A and B are shown apart, each in its own frame.
Chain A
Amino acid sequence: MKSELPQYLILRAASLLAPSDQRAEWLAGWQSELWYIPRRGATRFCLGAFQDALWLRRNDPSPVERSGLHLVSPLSCLAFLAALAVAISLIAVRMPGPQLGPRPTHLSARDLPGGSIGMLLLSGLALPAIRLAIGPGANRCPIPWPGRLRRGIFLALKIALLQPILFGGFVVVLPILSVPIANLGSIASWTLAFRWVLIDQQRRCPVCLRLLTEPVRIGSASQTFLEWYGAESTCSRGHGLLHISEMPASYSAKPEWLRLGDSWRSLFGSACPSSDAAGVRQR
């Protein structure tokens, strides 16, 4: 049958679940199949598209590569957050503030540090709950204090740079939305932003702090009893592999970091600093 409006709308809605770079082909496939379906069962047929799109989304092998943001190195990540913080702060300072009295109050540049510190304190309250919701971090081999310090500084800088972004965003939306909706929106954006900060931290190499790349699928769901299955990501500089189990079992509850020795270095780029130089002992 030819694609009719209700079926077309169902397929369009389901296509939003498919990864954006595969969406056009996915939709073309379903629309061409729909042409052959008898009218009577067409709607039921189209409803299956949601499951298919969801499967495609869940099995998208490289969300990091497809995100379009090149935040692989820690410096580019911090530079991006800093640029975003400056841009949102400038917009927030130039926007008219909320109508609290007879005249709208304007946010001045002097209010930004205070607001950001307030946000930081509130974030401190929310952070443990979000950390708990995300689940356990990776089992990493012992990292000496310089490596741990570097990771801690990176995490602290990301959290600090998020504060002006969240505060500025709150000030920008406040005149547009009502106060309860703006409050709800700011809580949701905190949660999402901190979830991203923690997940981003977990997906970074503990040695060079670069995002782990090239995820590949290991094992299969039908063999869970015998061995783990899930995804394995690699540090592009050859420092190690991160194993994330798709279904945590008693022996794979936490993601597992497997550090590669220096003998692996020849397989990766020449710009690879050794684990020892970065302060990591071999297991």
Chain B
Amino acid sequence: MRREGSPWRGVGVVTLKELSDHLTSARMRVLEWLVVLIALAALYGAIQQIRDVTAEDPFLLLRLFTTSREPLPSFVSFLSFLVPLIAIGLGFDAVNGEHNRRTLSRILSQPIYRDALLFGKFIAGLFTLSISLIALWLLVIGLGMFLLGVPPSGEEMARAFIFLLVTIAYAGVWLALALLFSIVFRSAATAALVTLGLWLFLTLIWPALAPAIVAAVAPTRDEESLILAAQYLSRLSPSTMFGEAMLAILNPSTRTLGPIYLSQLQGAVIGAPLPLGDSLIIAWPQIVGLVAGTILLFVTGYIVFQRQEVRA
């Protein structure tokens, strides 16, 4: 049966309300401080390291993101770890919270579709994440320029900007996942635990588990296909995809993300940077994968939400 009226009605209102909730919540403030402090720590480590070892590097600014100094990981590693945490923190009680506060049926009895509520919540979450990430990004670049005293080139800025966009897409995956579990589980605590558990599994355990699974079940002993299969399998984890995309974007000398074949090395100048377009082509499948994962998870949540009974 066709329903009448726009599913977009009320999206803006819901988005604005959710956004103001997010930006004023204590939860958000804690997460922001966490990110800022850790970013500063990573930046400090990176700058120390760069000052010590790098004499001339055309991509000095990008080194800020990728260089680490023991015992601290690099800025990118920190982000790949912390962005999911913020996204889950923003999304784990999005829908079940409305259930538990008994506001869901009251809101849905207003002239809007359920679509508007879900879209609004997702957009508001992603917008909040984007604001934090952009602020963080500007902070790091600004501090980097100030402390290193080297102005960035146009290409560096372009790569840094793509890095920002991919990070937002990466955040989207986790936000959509948190939103999905907030629809599936009535209890916010269960939803948070399941999402965090899945995050830990995908980020820490899966990259190590994938080669083991491949080795256990593979019918072949062919080294090359084993490595490739393990790589494909490990890409089920958004963290792996994000890491690979960042490697290609922030490290211009990256030529491939898989095994390197001799044919690829013919005529190549080892260590020479690729142009931005080529780096982007290398990272493109990962970037598309992150966006597709976001859409897939969101649509799953959407379908579950449409079929759910609103009664408490």
A in complex with B: no
- Interface residues in chain A, defined as those with a beta carbon under 8 Å from any beta carbon in chain B: none
